[in-house]
Amino acid sequence: MATLVIVALFAPCLLGLSVTPMVRAWARRRGFVDQPGGHKQHEKAVALGGGIAIVLSVYVPLLAGTLAAVVFARTAAPQWLPELMQTHLEGIAARMPRLLVILAGGLVLHLLGLIDDIRPLGASPKLALQLAVAIAVALGADVRLLEVLPAPLSLGLTVLWIVLITNAFNFLDNMDGLSAGVAAIAAAIFAASALLAGQVFVPVMALVLAGALLGYLPYNFAPASTYMGDAGSMVIGYLLAVLTVLTTFYNPDQGLQPFGVLVPLVVLAVPLYDVFSVCWHRWRAGSSLFRGDRRHFSHRLVQRGMSVRTAVLTIYLATTTTAMSALLLPHANWPIAMIVFAQCLCVVLIIALLEHAKP
């Protein structure tokens, strides 16, 4: 298991470290840059295309690994392959059609993001395509939340969740290193949760995503030399949403308690707070909910005197605090679960107090 975790995490990380500067150089040559001005904080043009590097760093290892599993499942597996992988080769190979549907949905969002990064689209076409992708993945890859519910209700909740988390990380991509770092933390926690539930395919996917983001992050942390744009932020939000649906959080046969289904809400409490709080502020101001501005809580932390790095690190720590305690939920009785929820609420309230304190 340790070998699998190391390979799944570090292979995409090394790929991200190698690919990102090449994509950055290409973007600069082609003039594919984010210009300063408006609500943006950077003072000079910054290369876009980080989303391309992230997608390559995620897709190449996943496709290569799954394709290898298909080949090895039909032939003799090499001796150097970890025993755990040899045991699950057929299962991984059988999941290739589902993986292809999931990755196809991410690719559609990636292309949509690239178009939007080049020539901004309105909110309506982006939301319409996000809904179409969520429905297609829910039906085509059998990605469903709460399958004990009637099928139409389960489908509706799944689509709503995928679109919500996709946009949550798109909204969170408002400061150097913020969306990528928070997503890496969340992906690592979901990987740990899936491993504890005895899964293999899902935690590998989560670790690959976390590794790719860690490889990209050195180029995106303040002061960023490249931005992921919508081509990256929508894809990582989408993949995280799908991973949360595929992870087993509740299974009585494995001793996993019902509180486990709330793990994604606790892990993603900070991004969800951002998306709802910024929508609230925009609604009160009479602005479009989808038009970029400096009403995000990260901006308000900076306005209260924090540096960009300090604000981002504060949000990292807040996310890590809620996320780590969420690992207890699938194994918790109700008093422990209440403590986890109370801790999560306290962390969110601390952020709210910090961002609304007078400078």
> Residue type for 262, please?
L
Local confidence band at 38 (pLDDT 50, 70, 90 cut-offs): low
pLDDT at 189 over 80: yes
- Say how far apart CA 48 and CA 225 lie, in whole Å: 9
The values of phi and psi at residue 34, to 5°, are -100, 115
* Predicted local distance difference test score (pLDDT) of residue 39: 54
Share of the chain above pLDDT 70, in %: 91
CA-wise closest residue to 228 among 83, 53, 50: 50
DSSP one-letter code for 76: P
Q: SS3 of 46, please?
A: strand
Tell me what the mean pLDDT of segment 89-117 comes to.
Answer: 91
In this prediction, residues 205-223 reach a mean pLDDT of 96
Residue 272: the pLDDT is: 93
More confident residue, 287 or 159: 159
Domain positions in the chain are: 2-256
Q: Is the pLDDT of residue 236 over 90?
A: yes
Label residue 79 by pLDDT band (50, 70, 90).
low
Q: Please indicate whether residue 171 or residue 83 has the higher confidence score (pLDDT).
A: 171
Quote the DSSP letter at residue 261. Answer: G
pLDDT of residue 135: 96
* pLDDT(359) > 60: no
Which helix (H) or strand (E) segment is 187 a member of? helix 178-196
Nearest partner of 143 among 179, 173, 98, 107, judged by Cα: 98
Tokens representing 164? 């919500």
Q: How far apart are CA 337 and CA 325, in angstroms?
A: 9
Least confident interval from 54-63, 156-165, 271-280: 271-280
Closest CA to 56 of 185, 191, 194, 212: 212
Q: How confident is the model at residue 254 (pLDDT cuts 50, 70, 90)?
A: confident
Determine the pLDDT at residue 228. Answer: 96
pLDDT band at 265 (very low <50, low <70, confident <90, very high): very high
Residue type, 65: G
Please check the confidence at residue 58 and state whether its pLDDT lies above 90: yes
Model pLDDT, residue 91: 76
What is the amino acid identity at position 308?
Answer: V
Cβ contact 348:273 at 8 Å: yes
- Round to whole Å and give the CA distance between 183 and 165: 11
Before 82, cis peptide (omega within 30)? no
Give pLDDT tens digits for 328-350.
999 888 889 999 999 999 998 88
- State the average pLDDT over residues 259-276: 91
pLDDT at 14 over 80: yes
Task: Tell me which of 75-79, 91-95, 98-102 is least confident.
Answer: 75-79
